[in-house]
Structure 1
Amino acid sequence: MTAAAQTLAVPATGAAAAPLLSVRELTVSVRDRGVTRPLVEGLSFDLRAGETLAIAGESGSGKSITSLALMGLLPNNVTVTSGQALLDGTDLPSLPEASMRDYRGAKVAMIFQEPMTSLNPVHSVGSQLVEAIRAHEPVSRREAHAAAVEALRRVRISEPERRMGQYPHELSGGMRQRVMIAMALVMSPALLIADEPTTALDVTVQREVLDLLRDLQESTGTAIILITHDMGVVAECADRAVVMKAGRMVEAGPVETLFRAPQEAYTRDLLAAVPRLGAGAERAAPLPPEAPVPVARLVEAQVHFDIGANFFGRPTHRVHAVEGVSFDIRPGETFGLVGESGCGKSTIAKALAGLVPHEGHVEVAGKRLATLTAQGRKEICRDVQMVFQDPMAALDPRMTVGEAVAEPLLIHGVGSPDERRARAEELFRRVGLTPGQMSRYPHEFSGGQRQRICVARALALRPKLIICDESVSALDVSVQARVLELLEELQQETEVSYLFISHDMAVVENVVDRLAVMYLGQIVEMGTRDQVFGNPRHPYTQRLLDAVPVPDPSRKGRPYARPVGDMPSPIRVIGDAPARLPLRDIGDGHLVADGGGGL
């Protein structure tokens, strides 16, 4: 352990105030098949009231296990084997479950990464909030209801009375996370643990949630433990940070010191892997030349879904998922699509892959999808492949990874069994794995390795276009950097084109040649990387860029124009189509929509 880690217990604000939480040599172990091994070993830190401590590190570093130990929520085969976690002098791990139940929610609360799995889908938001209040306070249902409405109002949820009667699936991801924050803070706990609270959220929603946590902390004095692998979030939100690796603390100290002069090689590598806005311009290369036949082309593409039903069973509303989108992708080019959830990015990907019905002109490799026969649609799969966000969900757990990579060749009748195996071995080597690993199953690999396997499978048929749909957003920053380097190397070798879909603007800037910014199913700005990132002209593009967390503590608290009200919905009454936003060329192919598009 470094000197910085050893001095973590010294408060940044002086030694006057006693710590709210004091963790001393905490060791958490798992017992598996008769063998006990530590998951977290010898962890020590102090946390004071009103302070934010970030615990940062990659997957498997022990961040979440630490939080579950503090909450008394460890699995049955995982226990605290030594050490203490003293909250106001009370050792939390030593409390029996009945006593811990009194602490949990009232004195220490937790916000989890995925709010949809934390909220009960069969109970309304209001009933869950009321239940949380009445579990700790002897109040009437009416008083608990009033307190719940006030809690929703504090987290800036519009129309809190109406939201009380809604169910989790009726709210957006950002709204659901706000409900979780309201539920965690409704009893004014002294300690709030936020475990990756913004990882699954769009960059603008992430900014709103982090600003909300900061505002609530200032008004309540709650101490926060922020668990994250995003060093930009650490720089913007934390006072001090602990960096963990393989269950051990490798470095700790004030955030400014940690970012300015990291002492450990692991910390330096973690910071170096963070994508930074502005770095893309440094590696800018000439755009791939226009080709007579682009790899993909969309002209006035539309995708609509009818929903609802009236008395006669006819739909009443229409989801305008994609509304008049036009762009093309050149051979050897990486084209980016960015925007918030629900803007139509993934729907465009599905339209290009022939997975959803569409209107307008959509073609791949010169073939218009609407005119293809069933055999033709099968053949187009050889030209278009997809790499999805969650590699574990994309791989069949019953198939070896070698079988998964060779399966596209088998489906399309390419080669003999020996030739297919040889092709799979070649692909494994190309993505940095070994042929000896082909007999293993997906669960035997890390997240980054599984994503490499998905890339290998996508390359099996030598496609012209690979659609990367949020393919690195769930990965740690160092693993993310390695996967992006792999994609770039493969493009240089094979001249494959990528459609890169993401809501992470810093990542996009570092990989794309051109990009389009989408809002409510329409493109509001499109151009080269330098045009859009160097001279953003549409208000929505500017808002996306302003919301990106900057891994620089000196820029903490920079101004951000918070959006007012709810985001408009792409769902409209049938017959009430949205107004089209015409794109205007402001020079050299930099296209910008006229007007704010409802912003």
Structure 2
Amino acid sequence: MIEVRETNAGAGLAPEAAQPVLSVDGLTISVRSEGRERPLVSDLSFTLARGETIAIAGESGSGKSLTSLAIMGLLPPPALHVSAGAIRFQGEDLTRLPESRMRAMRGNRIAMIFQEPMTSLNPVLTIGLQLAEAIRAHEPVTKREARARALEALRRVRISEPERRMGQYPHELSGGMRQRVMIAMALALRPDVLIADEPTTALDVTVQREVLDLLRDLQAEMGTAIILITHDMGVVAEMAARVIVMKQGRAVETGAVAQIFSDPREAYTQDLLAAVPRMGDGSGARAASPEAKPVARLRDVKVRFDIRGGILSQVTHRVHAVEGVSFDIMEGETFSLVGESGCGKSTIAKALTGLVPHQGRIEVAGHTMGGLSGAKMKEMRRDVQIVFQDPMAALDPRMRVGDLVAEPLVIHGIGTPEEQREKVAGLFERVGLTRDQLDRYPHEFSGGQRQRICIARALALQPKLIVADESVSALDVSVQARVLDLLDALKREFGIAYLFISHDMAVVENISDRIAVMYMGQIVEMGTRAQIFGSPQHPYTKRLMAAVPIPDPGRVRPPTPRLSGEVPSPVYKLGEHPQRLSLRNIGNGHLVADIGLGGVL
């Protein structure tokens, strides 16, 4: 059972007239390349007071993370180094300290939380051992004392069953739990400064809310100063007192958060804020035509995976990833699936594209998927294409991008090589790229450009349905806005239907026609954009929306429920099944499940 507690949010402000605990003066970070030095961060200056949160915001490549690595003394020598300026911590210039002195200070006085906790934790050591090791590296305590302090640190970050977590390995924890472990490790020694580098970027919106509330509470309790590095302006508005906006290694604008949001002076800051998707501004999407026919039909779809164990490797448990899901996607419609990691969104996408076996009925463009021969399945796949979350992982690094986009045409034997190349060139121009880029390789493009290449490849066969699985979640806000505009323009031009999968509620509101909210493999609410966002009915839908950071510093967040305890699992013993939810129509096609699935509230 999950316990609900109330919490109040509010950005941590520095005490008046507080002395700086950290000051950065004229910091310049350079890289040595081909016998010369090139600055990556230029003349950056700011101060940080005890108990204050300052945000460094900007897009990828702006120099945010390099600044944090310089403060921690973690710039990789000899290529990267501080070429000018000073970083003073309590009067001591960190850039001039020897590594032995910096090692004693790093983690003890200045700590850092990295973006991806899985790469920061040792996969072969238990959580308890790693926490105790961090404590003993800086303080002369016994193993028993270090373990006791490690356990207390886990309790402080409100992780469920802390005693059991001490004996577990990182891969046994969820992303949110691993991030809590990183916070516990960073705060175990009560540092004066905590650097949080994109600490919530990869997390679901509700887990993000928990982590942000946790950082705020611990800051109030311990007086820790926080440098928050992020490209999420909603997080900046809620957490920071001051913000530094960076572009290409320079601070283009600095000031109080309220002033920057209400009256940004620099064009780049204005563009950055204008690109942020906001809830309550879902003006971009259009409803499908009343004469539109279904492109895809799902009826009572189930996807289950067996778990084997024991000496004979028999099936003992079963993962109920998707359990009885039904919906239609109409021609020219954007139908969105939202929910947290593990709710079954991506599994539905894979079932719809024939990548995982399923039970129930799936129809695409009039063809029922079950029992199709290889040739018929290949023909059906012309009508449904998928755009994945990580474009770099979806593109073969050894192939030229023109060949990658032409590959579907080659597989299906469409056109001559000359016709294929001409069609690919036209697709490149349609997605905002140029013909002279056809012979380049994926690593020569930015993240947004690579995603455009993936979209061009999905369009090559002129499909009736494109599945966009978290296709903009890893992009900067301005790039995200351009990709979303492109998807909308393509829908209007070609009449394509989209299955849009995301956990970003603001993006979903701005692009969707209809929405289904998923939890633990089942749909708990479904309706039009206006119904879901204008009148959410299910408690889980309301909780998702309440967790979204709002890019408005003047907005006071009301007390929100804080969850603790065990997260429900979709794994059941063989023969057991999850409780099936029934959807009831409360008017005009707005479907809501009866409150069930213990743990939603």
TM-score range, shorter chain: over 0.9
Matched, 1:233 2:235: yes
Please give the alpha-carbon distance, in whole angstroms, between the structure 2 residues aligned to 1:86 and 1:71. 12
Q: Which residue of 1 aligns with 2:497?
A: 497
- C-alpha change, 1:259 and 1:389, in structure 2 (3 Å) is same
Aligned to 2:536: 536
Q: CA deviation at 1:290?
A: 5.3
Q: Counterpart of 1:61 in 2: which secondary structure? A: coil
Does 1:75 find its partner at 2:76? yes
- Structure-1 separation of matches of 2:63 and 2:210: 27
Contact 1:414–1:420, Cα closer than 8 Å, also in 2? yes
Which of 185, 188, 210 in structure 2 is aligned with 1:186? 188
Distance in 2 between residues matched to 1:496 and 1:239, nearest whole Å: 44
The answer (yes or no) to whether the contact 1:157–1:175 under 8 Å persists in 2 is: yes
Q: Is the 8 A contact 1:23 1:43 kept in 2?
A: yes
In 2, Cα distance between the equivalents of 1:512 and 1:42? 43
The answer as to 2:286 corresponding to 1:278 is no
Q: Which residues of 2 match residues 192-207 of structure 1 at below 5 A?
A: 192-207=194-209
- Partner secondary structure for residue 217 of structure 1: helix
SS at match of 1:295: strand
In the other structure, the counterpart of 2:412 is 412
Summarize deviations over 1:294-353 as a string: whole Å, max 9, x none: 211110000001114133311211111000000010011100000000000000000001
Give the drift of 1:35.
2.8
Q: Which amino acid aligns with 1:373?
A: S
Match of 2:67 in 1: 66
Cα drift, residue 557 of structure 1: 4.2
Conserved 8 A contact 1:237-1:556:
no
Distance 1:594 1:56 in 2: 42
1:24 alignment partner, SS class: strand
3-state SS of 1:562 partner: strand
In structure 2, the residue matched to 1:295 is 295
Partner amino acid for 1:469? D
How many angstroms apart in 2 are the aligned matches of 1:302 and 1:144? 47
Aligned counterparts, 1:58-207, within 5 A: 58-76=59-77, 77-207=79-209
Please name the residue that 2:460 is paired with. Answer: 460
| Partners of 2:54 and 2:38 in 1: CA distance | 27
**One-letter identity of the residue aligned with 1:584:** R
SS at match of 2:560: coil
Equivalent residue runs for 1:216-255 within 5 Å: 216-255=218-257
Query: What does residue range 274-423 of structure 1 map to in structure 2 within 5 Å?
Result: 274-280=276-282, 282-283=283-284, 285-289=286-290, 291-292=292-293, 294-423=294-423
Identify which range, 307-316 or 430-439, moves more after superposition.
307-316
CA-based RMSD of the aligned residues comes to 1.2
> In structure 1, what residue type is equivalent to 2:222?
T
Give the 3-state SS of the residue equivalent to 2:245 in structure 1: strand
In the other structure, the counterpart of 2:217 is: 215
The residue aligned with 2:562 is: 562
What is the rounded CA distance, in whole Å, between the counterparts of 1:254 and 1:288 in structure 2?
47
- Paired with 1:401 and 1:471, the residues of 2 have a C-alpha distance of 18
TM-score by length of 1: 0.96
Q: Which has the higher contact order (CA 8 A, sep 6+)?
A: 2
Per-residue deviation, 1:89? 0.9
Shift, 1:97, TM fit: 1.3
Residues 520/28 of structure 1: CA separation in 2 closer, same or farther (3 Å cut): same
Do the aligned residues in 2 keep the contact of 1:12 with 1:254 (CA within 8 Å)?
no
Q: Secondary structure at the match of 1:274?
A: coil
Correspondence 1:521 to 2:512: no
Counterpart amino acid of residue 571 in structure 2: I
SS at match of 2:564: coil
Distance (whole Å) between structure 2 residues aligned to residue 406 and residue 287 of structure 1: 30
Letter paired with 1:212: L
How far did 1:357 drift? 0.6
* AA of the residue aligned to 1:194: A
In the TM superposition, residue 288 of structure 1 has moved relative to its aligned partner by 2.9
Q: Decide whether the 8 Å contact of 1:235 with 1:556 is kept in 2.
A: no
Q: Does 2:19 align with 1:45? A: no
- Runs of 5+ unmatched residues, structure 2: 1-12
SS at match of 1:397: coil
Match of 2:23 in 1: 22
In 1, the alpha carbon distance for the partners of 2:471 and 2:388 equals 5
TM-score by length of 2: 0.96
- 1:495 Cα deviation (Å)? 0.4
| Matching residue of 1:507 | 507
**Contact 2:68–2:195 at 8 Å: present in 1 too?**
yes
Separation (CA, whole Å) in 1 of partners of 2:188 and 2:141: 14
CA–CA distance in 2 between the matches of 1:290 and 1:94?
71
Change (3 A) 1:13 1:316: same
- Structure 2: distance between partners of 1:128 and 1:514: 46
Q: 1:290–1:330: 8 Å Cα contact kept in structure 2?
A: no
Q: Distance in 1 between matches of 2:432 and 2:103?
A: 48
Per-residue CA distance 1:356-392 (angstroms, 9 max, x = gap): 0100001111111112111112222211111111111
- How much has 1:160 moved relative to structure 2? 0.6
Partner secondary structure for residue 264 of structure 2: coil
Kindly provide the CA deviation profile for residues 535-575 of structure 1, in whole angstroms up to 9, marking residues without a partner as x.
Answer: 00000000000000000011244321112322211111111
For 2:572 and 2:32, how far apart are their aligned partners in 1? 54
Cα deviations across residues 83-109 of structure 1 (Å, max 9, x unaligned)? 001010111122121111001100001
TM-aligned CA distance change 1:380 to 1:32, over 3 Å: farther
SS in 2 for 1:17: coil
Secondary structure of the corresponding residue to residue 471 of structure 1: coil
Instruction: For structure 1, list consecutive stretches of 5 or more residues without a partner in the other structure.
Output: 1-10
Q: How does 1:406-485 map to 2 (within 5 A)?
A: 406-485=406-485
Contact 1:538 1:596 in 2 (8 A): no
Kept after mapping to 1: 8 A contact 2:161/2:565 = no
Residues 288 and 332 in structure 2, CA contact (< 8 A), matched pair in contact too? no
Amino acid at match of 2:109: K
User: Quick one: distance in 1 between partners of 2:537 and 2:242?
Assistant: 36
Aligned equivalents of 1:362, 1:554: Cα separation in 2? 47
The CA distance in 2 between the partners of 1:217 and 1:564, in whole Å, is 20
Quick one: which amino acid aligns to residue 529 of structure 1?
R
**Which amino acid is the alignment partner of residue 84 of structure 1?**
A
Offset at 1:22? 0.5
| Separation of aligned partners in 2, 1:589 and 1:462 | 30
Q: Deviations over 1:234-266 (max 9, x none)?
A: 000001100000000000111111111111111
Distance 2:96 2:378 in 1: 60
Partner Cα separation in structure 1 for residue 53 and residue 32 of structure 2: 32
